[in-house]
Amino acid sequence: MVEKGDVAGGSPCRKSGRRRASNREIRYHLAQALVKAGDKPKAISQLEIVIGSGPAFPQEAEALALLKQLRQ
């Protein structure tokens, strides 16, 4: 929903991300939604969890690049 411009409609996905906190891909997509919603601090927080919590996942390089971009 967020990718289609419906940031508000994507907010229920935030709850899913919190409930399934161990799923790094969900957290990564939550971080992307938070960026689009303008919540940079929360996006950074989610990305820090994603990057520092276990073995690599398919979008790890993209998550790291996004984190670096947000920290600038």
- Domains of the chain, start order: 2-71 (1.25.40)
Which pLDDT band holds residue 21 (cuts at 50, 70, 90)? very low
For the question of whether the overall pTM of this predicted structure is more than 0.75, the answer is: no
Helix (H) or strand (E) holding 49: helix 40-51
Mean pLDDT to the nearest integer, 11-35: 72
Confidence bin at 10 (pLDDT 50/70/90) = low
- Min mean pLDDT across 9-13, 14-18, 28-32, 33-37 is at 14-18
Cα separation, 29 vs 59, whole angstroms: 10
CA 52/CA 36 separation, integer angstroms: 22
Helices 24-36 and 40-51: angle between axes, nearest 10 degrees: 160
